[in-house]
Structure 1
Amino acid sequence: MWRSLRFLIILGLAVAATVWLADHPGRVHLEWMGYQMDPPLGLAVLAVFVIGAVMALLYRLWVEMKHAPVALARNRKERKRQKGYDALNRGMVAVAAGDPEEAAQQARRAEELLEEPPLTLLLSAQAAQMNGDDRAAARFFQTMTETQDLEFLGLRGLFNQAINRGDRDEALKLAGRARQLHPGAEWVVNAMFDLQVALGYWDGATDTLKESARLKLVDKTQAKRRQAVILTQQAERAEAGGDMIGALKALKQACDLETDLCPAAIRHARLLVKDGKTRKAVGLIERIWSKMPHPELVELYVVAKSPPDALAKMKSLQGLALHNPTHMESAIAVAEAALEAQLWGEARRYLDPVAAEDPPARVCRLMAELEESQHGDMPKVRAWLSLAATSERDPAWVCQTCGNVQSAWTATCGKCGGFDSLRWQAPPRAKAALTHHEAPLEALPAPEA
């Protein structure tokens, strides 16, 4: 639009000038080297314009010829650069296709053609990794860290190498450097938290968790759960250092943050018993039992109650069972105490309901003990023990990530290192056990009324 408007303005001025010259005729007198000329004014003006145009054209031609070598060199350089970018693109495609030889070849070609080495560093590093040359890849990544625009990318490459070789301390240092460059990068924050947890740096993990929550990388519920787990571990460290007050404080905070964190509740109850605060321990255990019964709580409850004999112990556990009367753990706890007190009928009253259909191994073993103690019926004892071998296994701490089974809870899985991945449950049955599950059932008697 502006170009058209400018053309119209120039055309209008030219027409106006032509009309004005036509309305005001005249002549121009020229004398030069003995020659005289008297052309009309309009012709003289036209001649001036023509001569000016020719001079401008000649000047433009001279400028183009003067700069021709530079322009040719620039064009050659641009073509070379374009070939370098093409090689870079083909190298990236080769990396994606899993072709290490082609990737390495294109990386070398791009490095020769491009006068910007940083552009080829990543491709060269990836090609070296694909060829299994970790040392060469590390050199390329290290060079990238010396270039401002590629430092973050180089640090991530070095970080991944440190993780692959199991050097967690070095990986944590590299993640810290990356965090200084990009504090809000999700992979950096998550990596730092995972490494701090794996290395037992609980104070640092707390700070990183707060940063994750601030950046909304974890929701509030997840952040509370993670903080409760960390507090449980910090309490264990405080107890080991003789700081009983600090340990109790940390465990109380953990239980307040996450009421369903069974390990924190168990440890809290144990420390209360250890500290002589048995009434508080009893109240806490009864509250925990109503939501998440656990065998360790039975032992702590007995210690806190200090019953004088086996009968008193059974009555105490009957009181505990009332807080969750339908749960299997309640029946097992009272039945074990009844067997200890040699109250066979009472033990059977609690065991029969849970032994009636697909009983777990613990119940089968208790039934075998009951049959042997009450009646001395060895065929029934063997039948129950046979069933125990193929029934649901005793509960343990099972990793939800890798399936690892642990007898004691830890914040991280002892096998895969997963954080807060352990849950109290029956481990999966073996395939062989499932195959022969039905055979022992035929030999079992129906539970007595």
Structure 2
Amino acid sequence: AAGDTDKALALAKTAFALKPAHEETQDVLLKLQAQGADWKGARETLKAKLKHGSLPRDVHKRRDAVLALSEAKGVLSEDSGIDGQERAIEANKLSPDLIPAAVMAAKSYIQQGKPRYAARVISKAWAARPHPDLAGAFAEIVPDETPDKRIKRFRALTKTNPNDPETKMLLAELNIAAENFPDARRALGDLVETQADARALTIMAAVERGEGASDTVVKGWLARALSAPRGPQWVCDNCQHIHAEWTPTCDNCGALDTLSWKRPPQSEVQALSSAAMLPLIVGAIEEKSEEAIAEIDDAEIVDMNAADGQVNS
């Protein structure tokens, strides 16, 4: 309570040594270790919780993966490449659906010259939950391929979860990169009507631009994008706090392993993270879209929204 976390940690370790089966002591120690980035110690405490029956085996496996991933990130930040790669792969094996672990493991395999392993890791995670970072890692497997070859290679990924909004937007972006705007429109389907968010509407603006639509039409889509929901983000299940990036513990409430990739409550929406806009759209189209956004002033946005009956206070 006084903020002396070092002393609190020392006392918690002493209490844990005296009564390792005491659940409250386990929880306090685990929280302090996670806050102090003592991932190795936290994994030992987690193991004790499993041993003494205060944590179900499946929950232990998932949280151990989270801690292993955090340990891998810490090792990589210390420029210990091989150890970090091994821990990233370990985290992915413990919980294949943990998106950041899958991304880190895939990148480790790419560095080791094992592209098939990387593709397998990403595909397994994509089957559980499509995510832009997974698509980005999949693109890194063959960074210099042409847009048409990339579409062909990505079929192995996009055939899984084809109706997920992320899959539809990924396919649309890939076709925009190949300047195949009709297929991009088909890939997007009815997403802009059923689950419109800022990214889907921005993609639609790029499609319209590519097909030669007027500036008025393109601006209309961009205006809708500016006031649309931001789409899925990393949200704490415990306190609903939104994070720009995944973290093992919530920045707001300190809870361990509570971040989920989902649409936040509308009242909690914040700007899109850089990861949310997968950089697969052709640069020229991106530049034109940015110019179009810059040209829209507040009056135009209000006028366009008023036409749709979507004026916000």
TM class by shorter chain equals 0.7 to 0.9
- Asked if the contact 2:202–2:222 (Cα under 8 Å) also holds between the matched residues in 1, the reply is yes
Is residue 238 from structure 1 mapped to residue 75 from structure 2 by the alignment? yes
User: Which one-letter code corresponds to 1:301 in the other structure?
Assistant: F
* 1:318 shift after superposition: 3.4
2:2 corresponds, among 165, 173, 178, to: 165
* 1:371 shift after superposition: 1.4
Aligned counterparts, 1:244-323, within 5 A:
244-323=81-160
Is residue 325 from structure 1 mapped to residue 162 from structure 2 by the alignment? yes
Distance of 2:126 and 2:18 partners within structure 1: 49
* 1:223 shift after superposition: 1.1
What's the % identity of the aligned pairs?
A: 29
Scaled by the length of structure 1, the TM-score of the pair is 0.57
Distance of 2:12 and 2:215 partners within structure 1: 64
Is residue 367 from structure 1 mapped to residue 204 from structure 2 by the alignment? yes
Higher relative contact order (CA 8 A, sep 6+): 2
* 1:312 shift after superposition: 1.9
* 1:219 shift after superposition: 1.2
Q: Deviations over 1:254-308 (max 9, x none)?
A: 2232232222111111221233222221222222222221111212212213453
Distance of 2:269 and 2:97 partners within structure 1: 34
Q: Aligned pairs, how many? A: 278
Compare 170-179 and 238-247 and name the one that shifted more: 238-247
Give the aligned partner of residue 205 of structure 1: 42
Higher-Rg member (1/2): 1
Structure 2 unaligned regions, length at least 5: 271-301
Aligned counterparts, 1:29-108, within 5 A:
none
1:412 corresponds, among 246, 249, 253, to: 249
Give the aligned partner of residue 72 of structure 1: none
Distance of 1:220 and 1:351 partners within structure 2: 40
Distance of 1:231 and 1:422 partners within structure 2: 16
Distance of 2:243 and 2:211 partners within structure 1: 34
- Asked if the contact 1:332–1:363 (Cα under 8 Å) also holds between the matched residues in 2, the reply is yes
- Asked if the contact 1:338–1:344 (Cα under 8 Å) also holds between the matched residues in 2, the reply is yes
1:403 corresponds, among 225, 231, 240, to: 240
User: Which one-letter code corresponds to 2:197 in the other structure?
Assistant: P
- Asked if the contact 2:230–2:269 (Cα under 8 Å) also holds between the matched residues in 1, the reply is no
Q: Deviations over 1:103-131 (max 9, x none)?
A: xxxxxxxxxxxxxxxxxxxxxxxxxxxxx
* 1:396 shift after superposition: 2.0
* 1:441 shift after superposition: 8.0
Q: Deviations over 1:40-74 (max 9, x none)?
A: xxxxxxxxxxxxxxxxxxxxxxxxxxxxxxxxxxx
Give the aligned partner of residue 77 of structure 1: none
- Asked if the contact 1:307–1:316 (Cα under 8 Å) also holds between the matched residues in 2, the reply is no
User: Which one-letter code corresponds to 2:95 in the other structure?
Assistant: E
Is residue 228 from structure 1 mapped to residue 65 from structure 2 by the alignment? yes
* CA RMSD of superposed structures (Å): 2.6
Residue 249 to residue 383, structure 1, CA distance change in 2 (3 Å): same
Is residue 390 from structure 1 mapped to residue 227 from structure 2 by the alignment? yes
Residue 175 to residue 377, structure 1, CA distance change in 2 (3 Å): same
User: Which one-letter code corresponds to 2:189 in the other structure?
Assistant: D
* 1:431 shift after superposition: 8.5
Distance of 1:238 and 1:204 partners within structure 2: 14
- Asked if the contact 1:317–1:333 (Cα under 8 Å) also holds between the matched residues in 2, the reply is no
Structure 1 unaligned regions, length at least 5: 1-163, 445-449
Give the aligned partner of residue 58 of structure 1: none
* 1:347 shift after superposition: 0.8
